[in-house]
Amino acid sequence: MDLLSQDIMYLPGVGPNRKKLLSQELGIETYGDLLEYFPYKHVDRSKVYTVRELTGDMPFVQVVGQILSFETFEMGPRRQRVVAHFSDGTAIMDLVWFNGGKFIKQTYKIGKEYLVFGRPSVFNNRIQVQHPDIDDASKVDTSAMGMQPYYNTTEKMKKAGLTSRSIERLTKTLLEKLTTPLAETITPEILSKRHLMSRDEALRTIHYPQNAHDLERARLRMKFEELFFVQLNILRYASDQRRKYRGYVFNRIGDIFNTFYKENLPFELTNAQKRVIREIRTDTCSGRQMNRLLQGDVGSGKTLVALMSMLIALDNGFQACIMAPTEILAEQHLVTIRNFLKDMPVRVELLTGIVKGKKRQEVLDGLLSGEVQILVGTHAVIEDTVQFRRLGMAVVDEQHRFGVAQRAKLWSKSEQPPHVLVMTATPIPRTLAMTLYGDLDVSVIDELPPGRKPIQTTHVFDSRITSLYEGIRKQIQQGRQVYMVFPLIEESEKIDLKNLEQGFEVLCQAFPEYRLSKVHGKMKPKEKEEEMQKFVSGETQILVATTVIEVGVNVPNASVMVIFDAQRFGLSQLHQLRGRVGRGADQSFCILVTTFKLSEETRKRIDIMCETNDGFRIAEADLKLRGPGDLEGTQQSGMAFDLKIADIARDGQIVQMARDEAQTIIDEDPTCQSAQFGVLWNRLKELRKTNINWAAIS
Ligand code: ADP
Ligand code: MG
């Protein structure tokens, strides 16, 4: 049997109890798992400092010396601080414990030589190390210690005595057992082209490097490996789909598209819109099925691009559909599209959860007969009862609420899968898009329609709220409208509503001369629609809402967005909300109201919002602040994010490198069968077997 698949229980020093902990707390079941449990940092322990050399801003250091005396300070009931005065003859420092002092005093002897290791700091003008590691100096050879690995452990493990040090001993034992070189998983060509370490060397080095440079190279190799197989998996999937399905060919531009373009389009397309439409044209002519992700900041005019793509389908005798994540948004799309197509003989219908009975039957019949040419709807569109005569183009708006599985469902609506255009207003940094939506081609609208003034964003503490009202009043006097948003607290819808209700009352009192609408997710769709409509028509001046208005709502006359408790929102959500204003020609404003006390991270979020309107910069910052796992959409997307070592936010260059190499392999061996790459395909199979998330994409 392969030594790496050996049960971890049999590694000397483990046994059944520790095995249980390792498995429950860290997911380590086998020798191989332990080998790939990488240290999170290393500390150079070959150097011994003198006490006199130490300063408060050094990282970890070690010194050799003796404890001169102990001192105990009472810090309240049953709390003691124990201090050991420690010296190597050059100066005196303090070793400090806030708990476990009794044990310390019993264990360590005055006058004996100890090796003390820890992070120095300065307290009352004196160097101290809190909770240091202490070893008997006669039993350690510092010159042989080198770089010491540190492993993450959990509270439960620590309580059971399974510390970073214990894991260190286990990895050392394991590496000594692994006498034959570990199998390589990457081809020699890639290794030499990219100057990568062998797997064997990398895995040994990553635990016990000689120096920082070797460690970096070992980490690079392991990050590359991880990202490479993610990319290979994605590209294999995409290539599979491509071979399995051919795409409908839309080889003509006809009356519908031309009439719309020449007679109905009320403005010039931006260059970015033109470019994207050309890209879609090329895809839909190519004979392969389009799977394209269209990224464009809020307000960049994606709906129009979607509509024009659908018209091309219609000109070629096909039907088209567009799906939105909410009813409000679907209804709004319907109105927008009908307006755009005014006086043209195109039948556009709506299908959402509230279209029922006779009307629903009519729509369903029309779809089956082909008379309904464009269907606008919500998730209702992918229900099994909905059948088209000949669906050629499906648009999914606001991707982050649709998963891979739902996209796949669309495919079964036609005898061949329709072309799919997925639109998102949450811009995704390139490297993340490559991983998250790696099976999609990406188009970007990086230009806003002309004449838009950048939104001015300001931050206001809630104690200064009344002065804010004056500014808002001025805007309304000039005929503008205002959004006021309260956060949605998922776990407690009651509080959420209470927030909104209270806020609404306060605002009604603050603006007695104006009319206010109120919208939240718990309202009946009809009520919600009525309230929204009052705001859209200008009958009410202020719309008080929860985040239901986050996506897609379009009221160009609204020029102020006030976000209460802005500290509760994530960056991309704030950006989405802000995108509801700035849609007309007037100067727009976004006001972020927060409590006075803010965490460091919240501060950063608010600062970035005030600094820039650029969705891509915001998305990048978001990724860095939160990490990819938290990004909206990553959970449903079906892609693995439990990367062990690589970090999509920081390792962008390695993602690109992995993508390029994976692409080269797929280009040379699209059916994934060549023996030349056998080592890669076998490894991929193994990974797909052992990691559930990996399989989710296929
Ligand atoms: P989003 O990309 O956020 O979905 P929309 O498609 O809702 O943006 O477009 C925002 C607004 O800009 C709409 O009112 C739309 O009619 C308008 N618009 C779109 N393209 C252009 C253009 N090329 N010139 C002027 N206005 C445009
Ligand atoms: Mg939109």
* pLDDT tens sequence across 548-597: 665 556 788 999 999 999 998 888 889 888 988 988 788 999 999 999 99
Three-state secondary structure string covering 101-158: HHHHHHHCCCCCEEEEEECEEEECCEEEEECCEEEEHHHCCHHHCCEEEECCCCHHHH
Buried b (16+ CB within 10 A) or exposed e, 254-280: eebbebbeeeeeeeebbebbebbbebb
pLDDT tens for residues 345-355? 999 999 998 89
Tell me the CA–centroid distance for residue 305 and ligand 1, in Å: 9
Atom of ligand 1 nearest to the CA of 270: 23
Between CA 246 and CA 557 the distance in angstroms is 45
Between CA 303 and CA 424 the distance in angstroms is 11
- Which residues, other chains included, contact 503 with Cβ-Cβ below 8 Å and sequence gap of 6+? 484, 486, 544, 564
Between CA 356 and CA 364 the distance in angstroms is 11
**What per-residue confidence (pLDDT) applies to 477?**
95
| The pair of three-digit structure tokens given for residue 184, joined into one six-digit string | 């390589």
pLDDT tens for residues 186-199? 999 999 999 999 99
The one-letter amino acid at 289: Q
**What per-residue confidence (pLDDT) applies to 145?**
74
The pick from 554, 575, 576, 586 for probing ligand 1's pocket by mutation, whose C-beta has the most ligand atoms within 8 angstroms, reads 554
Q: What is the mean pLDDT of residues 35-49?
A: 90
Is residue 548 within 8 Å of residue 498, measured between CB atoms? no
Tell me the pairing of strands 481-485 and 456-461: unpaired
Q: Which residues line ligand 1 (CB under 6 A)?
A: 267-270, 273, 296, 298-304, 425, 449, 554, 583
Tell me the CA–centroid distance for residue 402 and ligand 2, in Å: 15
Name the closest-CA residue to atom 12, ligand 1: 301
Q: Which of 139-148, 354-363, 643-652 has the highest mean pLDDT?
A: 354-363
The larger pLDDT score, comparing residue 603 to residue 442, is at 603
Return left, alpha or beta for 71; rule: phi > 0 is left, psi -120 to 50 is alpha, else beta. Answer: beta
Between CA 486 and CA 544 the distance in angstroms is 8
- Which residues, other chains included, contact 131 with Cβ-Cβ below 8 Å and sequence gap of 6+? 96, 97, 98, 118
Does residue 210 surpass a pLDDT of 60?
Answer: yes
Tell me the CA–centroid distance for residue 283 and ligand 2, in Å: 22
Strands (E), 367-471: 374-377, 391-397, 419-424, 441-445, 456-461
Between CA 315 and CA 261 the distance in angstroms is 13
The larger pLDDT score, comparing residue 233 to residue 496, is at 233
Confidence of residue 628 (pLDDT cuts 50, 70, 90): low
pTM of the predicted model, to two decimals?
A: 0.68
pLDDT tens for residues 89-117? 999 999 999 888 888 999 999 999 999 99
Nearest ligand for residue 445 CA: 1
The larger pLDDT score, comparing residue 329 to residue 117, is at 117
pLDDT tens for residues 23-39? 999 999 999 999 999 99
Does residue 611 surpass a pLDDT of 90?
Answer: yes
Does residue 638 surpass a pLDDT of 50?
Answer: no
Average model confidence (pLDDT) across the chain: 87
**What per-residue confidence (pLDDT) applies to 478?**
94
Does residue 693 surpass a pLDDT of 50?
Answer: no
Helix, strand, coil shares of the chain, percent, nearest 5, are 45, 20, 35
Name the closest-CA residue to atom 4, ligand 1: 302
Tell me the CA–centroid distance for residue 304 and ligand 2, in Å: 9
Return left, alpha or beta for 63; rule: phi > 0 is left, psi -120 to 50 is alpha, else beta. Answer: beta
Tell me the CA–centroid distance for residue 31 and ligand 2, in Å: 50
Three-state secondary structure string covering 334-345: HHHHHHHCCCCC
**What per-residue confidence (pLDDT) applies to 675?**
92
Q: What is the mean pLDDT of residues 239-263?
A: 90
Q: What is the mean pLDDT of residues 646-653?
A: 80
Nearest ligand for residue 277 CA: 1
Q: What percent of the chain has a predicted confidence (pLDDT) above 90?
A: 56
Between CA 698 and CA 687 the distance in angstroms is 13
How many helices and strands, by DSSP H and E, does the chain display? 24, 22
**What per-residue confidence (pLDDT) applies to 407?**
66
Collect residues with CB below 5 Å from ion ligand 2: 552
Query: Long-range contacts for 690-695 (Cβ within 8 Å, ≥24 apart)?
Result: 691/640, 693/638, 693/639, 693/640, 693/641, 693/642, 694/233, 694/640
Confidence of residue 668 (pLDDT cuts 50, 70, 90): very high
Between CA 367 and CA 370 the distance in angstroms is 5
Q: What angle, 0 to 180 degrees and rounded to 10, lies between the N-to-C axes of helices 302-315 and 271-285?
A: 30
Which residues does residue 292 pair with via DSSP β-bridges, in sequence order? 421, 441
Cα R_g (the chain), whole angstroms: 31
Name the closest-CA residue to atom 16, ligand 1: 301
End-to-end CA distance of the chain: 30
Between CA 303 and CA 511 the distance in angstroms is 35
Atom of ligand 1 nearest to the CA of 556: 14
Nearest ligand for residue 307 CA: 1
pLDDT tens for residues 126-147? 999 999 989 898 887 777 678 8
Tell me the CA–centroid distance for residue 552 and ligand 2, in Å: 5
| The pair of three-digit structure tokens given for residue 629, joined into one six-digit string | 């796992």
Q: Which domains does the chain have, with CATH numbers?
A: 1-42+147-180 (1.10.150), 46-145 (2.40.50.140), 255-445 (3.40.50.300), 456-612 (3.40.50.300)
Between CA 207 and CA 557 the distance in angstroms is 60
**What per-residue confidence (pLDDT) applies to 2?**
81
Three-state secondary structure string covering 428-455: CCHHHHHHHCCCCEEEEECCCCCCCCCC
Atom of ligand 1 nearest to the CA of 269: 23
**Nearest Cα to 322, choosing from 349, 295, 357, 342?**
349
pLDDT tens for residues 379-425? 888 888 899 999 999 999 876 556 556 666 777 777 788 999 989 87
Nearest ligand for residue 580 CA: 1
How many C-beta atoms lie closer than 10 Å to residue 27's C-beta? 10
Does residue 428 surpass a pLDDT of 50?
Answer: yes
CA dihedral of residues 149, 150, 152, 154 (deg, nearest 10)? 120
Q: What is the mean pLDDT of residues 636-665?
A: 77
Between CA 277 and CA 680 the distance in angstroms is 37
